[in-house]
Chain A
Amino acid sequence: MFDDRSPIYRQIAESIKSDILSGALAEDSQVMSTNQYAAAYRINPATAAKGLRELLDEEILYKRRGIGMFVSPNAQEKLRAEHRQSFFSDVVDPMIDEATTIGIPLSDVIDHIQRKDG
């Protein structure tokens, strides 16, 4: 279940974030409880709580006392803005590096993108 590349709690946070981005978790919808995450991922509840706490700190989630945690109203837009910022450094730059390494001229890449767009 975990790829071992980052701490488990961060992977839980990332998987919630990607569900929010994709719309699978709608705004104001409730996320699973700490214990439900712990049981589902077979991890200590304190570890699961750490992942959820990160999202509370980032205001991606908010808490309703005694009920649980919910997706913040502006969470999806906030995440989209964050991902837009890192899109070129995280996605485009490595693609350009790869294209250069394997000998695809950038003009071919641009042509390809423009065909997809049209």
Chain B
Amino acid sequence: MSLGITVSGLSLDYGDTRAIDDLSFELDGGKIYGLLGRNGSGKTSLLSMIAAFRRQTAGQITVDGNEPFENAAVTSQICLIRESGDVFETDTVKNVLKFAADFRPYWDADLAARLVDRFELPLKKRVQALSRGKRSALGVTLGMASRAPLTLFDEVHLGMDAPSRYAFYEELLNDYLEHPRTIVLSTHLIEEVASLFEEVIIIDRGRLILHEPADEVRARGVAITGRADAVASFTQSMDVLSTKQLGGTSQATVYGALSDERRRDAAEAGLELGPVPLQDLFVHLTDNKRGDR
């Protein structure tokens, strides 16, 4: 089961501050989406409204065609895991899991037990006594084992160490393959998870910058390597994001896809073309110094 999301003209104000600014997009559902944005770009606000934790100032959200706010039929299908955890600090890990098992309609106890084991979660400890990494692992376990048709992870994995993060990516992908559903993962550390995304949504200052299949986003950047003078003349009128030089060789990262003709020109000039990491394109697209685009 998978739920689609439609967001139209969505805005959210905190007092005088506009956190989400006239945002519109549509997700078909059944895919793994990457929600990318810098700190403070509005990722948490957006996910909180989709999960009905918070009401919007203006605009509309529908999940599977229905508004989620104060609508139990919809919210029971949604699981949002935020970095804060949204669990009782004085509860033990065991009780937190038991509560989720009672409360979550699609809870998979076997999966929960396996994740507890893999992340070495101490069942008897209270949440407040957990390290940041273990607390994140608890959030990940709750989100995964809930197996909600719409599962939202808000930067929850960032507190984990690298081996645990990679374990999370592996578990997430394998479970998604067995139980396809709509998963949204927000992060600003993109490279490690980029290969999991089918579509990417980039927001900045509460506005939509881009929503495209991940492969198409990647195709928007090209790294051009070769003799410094050849690279310089080839990239003369292009949007060059960065240049690296090593002796007589240089590599320029440019924004914008190359036509077949330009690719032939590059080959004739002895230049090598390569892909650009998603992270570099993200940095470019959300660099405020470049102004509005």
Which residues does A use to contact B, with CB under 8 Å?
4-9, 35, 38-39, 41-47, 50
Contact = CB atoms under 8 A, between A and B. Distances in A.
Nearest to B272: A5
Given A44-B32, A44-B198, A46-B198, A5 B173 contact: no
Contacts, number: 45
Interface of B: 31-32, 169-170, 173-174, 177, 195-198, 213-215, 218-219, 274-275, 277
B80 to A, nearest CB: 21
Where chain A touches its partner, the secondary structure class is helix
B195 A43 contact: yes
A45 B215 CA distance: 12
A56 to B, nearest CB: 17
A50 B213 CA distance: 12
B214 A44 contact: yes
A46 B31 contact: yes
Given A7-B275, A47-B214, A42 B177 contact: no
Given A39-B173, A50-B215, A5 B198 contact: no
B177 A47 contact: no
Given A43-B195, A44-B214, A38 B275 contact: no
Contacts of B170: 42
B195 A44 contact: yes
B32 to A, nearest CB: 6
B195 A47 contact: yes
Given A4-B277, A5-B274, A46-B198, 14 more contacts: A4-B274, A5-B275, A7-B215, A8-B195, A38-B177, A39-B173, A42-B169, A43-B173, A44-B32, A44-B173, A44-B196, A44-B198, A45-B177, A46-B213
**The 5 A-B residue pairs with the shortest CB-CB distance in the complex, in nearest-first order:** A46-B198, A43-B195, A35-B177, A44-B198, A5-B274
Given A7-B215, A7-B275, A39 B177 contact: yes
Contacts of B213: 46
A46 B213 CA distance: 10
A103 B197 CA distance: 49
A47 B215 contact: yes
Nearest to B170: A42
B177 A6 contact: no
Contacts of A45: 177
Nearest to A43: B195
Contacts of A5: 274-275
B35 to A, nearest CB: 15
A9 B195 CA distance: 10
B169 to A, nearest CB: 7
Contacts of A42: 169-170, 173, 195-196
B24 to A, nearest CB: 23
A38 B274 CA distance: 23
A110 B218 CA distance: 43
Contacts of B277: 4
28 contacts: A4-B274, A4-B277, A6-B275, A7-B215, A7-B218, A7-B219, A7-B275, A9-B215, A35-B177, A38-B173, A41-B195, A42-B170, A42-B173, A42-B195, A42-B196, A43-B173, A43-B195, A43-B196, A44-B31, A44-B173, A44-B195, A44-B198, A44-B214, A45-B177, A46-B31, A46-B198, A47-B195, A50-B215
Nearest to B176: A45
Contacts of B195: 8, 41-44, 47
A43 to B, nearest CB: 4
A41 B170 CA distance: 10
